[in-house]
Amino acid sequence: MCIFCDIIKGKLPCDKVYEDENYFAFKDIRPKAPVHILIVPKKHIEKVADIDGENKNVIGDMVVVANRIAKDLDIDKSGYRLVINNGPDAGQEVYHLHLHLMGGKRMIFAA
Ligand code: DGP
């Protein structure tokens, strides 16, 4: 069972902001910034550590989707942060690969 797979299939509700054949994006349920969107591949990949030579396009594709959403939501000029958490020490909570798009405020924490 995967909550993000259920969201993608419409079995669980979400605030959808984008969908195409291979990708889906929705508002994070616990936003850490005024804009906090999760971009996910429809194909279930657990984590960024599972990206290899076969599926590396997924990362670039998710960034393209994030950039497009940032423009649509008018944070492309003010700036935004893209984050992928991998595994326990990074605080990964949901084991379906997702890219966090956060913006709309000045973020003081610098990685
Ligand atoms: P991460 O720590 O990188 O695995 O982030 C998972 C994010 O997913 C976290 O910010 C909260 C969000 N999240 C968890 N469950 C749900 C849900 O059911 N709906 C939505 N919209 N977001 C969720």
Q: In this structure, what CATH number is given to the domain that contains residue 83? A: 3.30.428.10
DSSP at 93 = -
Q: Hey, whose CA ends up nearest to atom 19 of ligand 1?
A: 29
Task: Give the residue numbers marked as catalytic.
Answer: 98
What is the rounded average pLDDT for all residues in the chain? Answer: 97
Predicted confidence (pLDDT) per residue in 9-48, tens digit: 999 999 999 999 999 999 999 999 999 999 999 999 999 9
Q: What is the number of domains present in the chain?
A: 1
Q: Which residues line ligand 1 (CB under 6 A)?
A: 3, 14, 26-30, 38, 85, 91-94
pLDDT confidence bin for 110, thresholds 50/70/90:
low
Q: Is residue 108 part of a domain?
A: no
Could you list the residue range(s) of the whole structural domain that residue 34 is in? Answer: 3-103
Token pair belonging to 21: 């054949």
Ligand 1 midpoint to CA 28 (Å): 6
Query: CB within 8 A of 53, min separation 6: which ones?
Result: none
- Could you tell me if residue 63 is inside a domain? yes
Number of Cβ within 10 Å of residue 94's Cβ equals 15
